[in-house]
Homo-oligomer: A and B are copies of this chain.
Amino acid sequence: MSEPVRIRLSDVAAEAGVSLATASKALNGTGRMTDQTRDRVKQAADRLGFRPNAMARALIRQRSMTVGLLTNDSYGRFTMPVMAGVAAALVDEGISVFMCNIEDDAQAGRLHLDAMLDKQVDGIILTGKRIDTALPVDLEGLSIPVVHVFTKAPPDTVSLVSDDAQGAGEAVRWIAGLGRQRLAHVTGPADFASVAERARAFAEVAGPDAPVLHGPWSEAWGHEAVDRLWRGGGTVPDGIFCGNDQIARGVIDALRERGVDVPGDVSVVGFDNWDIVAAATRPPLTSVDMNLKALGREAGRLIRALAEGQPVAPGLRRMPCRLVVRRSCGGGET
């Protein structure tokens, strides 16, 4: 119905009976003038429903109040929470985030990155799905700050990952604290950096002789690993720490099929706290949560600081994980 006319600052100035410059200063809290004048302008702005044109402002300030988020995690398992955190950390400053999924396509990466750079983004956040491979984007000679989240980053760049070792440590100590003595670790492929980190933390608590089984990140592998562990017929584990929730689910299903009670006979803990999996296992899965949204918030904070020219120490930041206790390991609740 209503004519969708965009109110300009000049309209506000006219309405308040002041000059453009005064109106600008009044609204931005800069300059000096009587409180009365300032209020009058503000009220005029409210009355008219004035919203400053961010584009024009950006042109002058040389800051667009936008950041770009590139990811190769087409699934969104990691990216959605991270980006929620980023957006939450930045919206209060009036910063919006461009997002796009470039899969692992270097050409798409170039294309989307260029589009964002043309839009004068104040910074770029790169998000991935594993910490030991990089996105196929060339950031050479970029004049804006970059923050890496959950992806491989060149040295001396600002980057953020979750603390695999700490998270794994908490999980394994929790199982051990339940009185479990014969621990095993069923995890993903050995060439994943996080797998190594988690395995190291496992060995530190469980001892160097505790079995560590590597395989794919799948439920099927969880099944097979249980078969292997139980096949020998010798001593079997009473606590299994899994490299991710899908493996954990496979492990739990396989144990149930063997008549082994979880958590009665064996405690099982997963990693990722992927609610869709963790809630569907029987019993519900105790798992390590990587606090991805917090990671995102921190990424947002950092990119803003960098964009504002504040000093930020380069290097890898490890953000703490937390254990979410459900019924699969006993001793817990929920």
Contact = CB atoms under 8 A, between A and B. Distances in A.
Interface in A41-84: 51-56, 58-59, 64-66, 68, 74-77, 79-81, 83-84
A191 to B, nearest CB: 22
A51 B280 contact: no
A243 to B, nearest CB: 16
A75 B80 contact: yes
B96 A97 contact: no
Contacts of A305: none
Contacts of A58: 55
List the number of copies, as a whole number: 2
A91 B111 contact: yes
Contact of A59 (B55, B112, B142, B246): B55
- The size bracket of the interface on A is 35 or more
Given A6-B143, A112-B87, A142-B4, A53 B120 contact: yes
Interface stretch (A98-106, A130-138, A165-173, A232-240): A98-106
A2 B116 contact: no
A94 interface: yes
A49 to B, nearest CB: 9
A178 interface: no
A127 to B, nearest CB: 12
A114 interface: yes
A324 interface: no
Contacts of A65: 119
A276 B101 CA distance: 19
A20 interface: no
B141 A51 contact: no
Most buried by B among A94, A119, A219: A119
B218 A118 contact: no
A2 B80 contact: no
A96 B83 contact: no
A84 B70 CA distance: 12
A100 B101 contact: no
Contacts of A21: none
A117 interface: yes
Contact of A101 (B54, B56, B66, B87): B87
A190 interface: no
Given A99-B97, A101-B80, A218-B280, A119 B66 contact: yes
Nearest to A92: B111
Given A1-B141, A4-B143, A246-B280, A99 B118 contact: no
* CB-based closest 8 A-B pairs: A4-B143, A76-B76, A76-B80, A99-B99, A54-B118, A87-B100, A54-B119, A219-B280
27 contacts: A1-B141, A6-B143, A51-B114, A51-B117, A54-B118, A54-B120, A55-B55, A55-B64, A55-B120, A56-B59, A68-B96, A74-B81, A75-B76, A76-B76, A76-B77, A80-B80, A83-B100, A87-B99, A91-B100, A91-B112, A95-B115, A96-B100, A96-B112, A98-B99, A99-B99, A246-B276, A253-B253
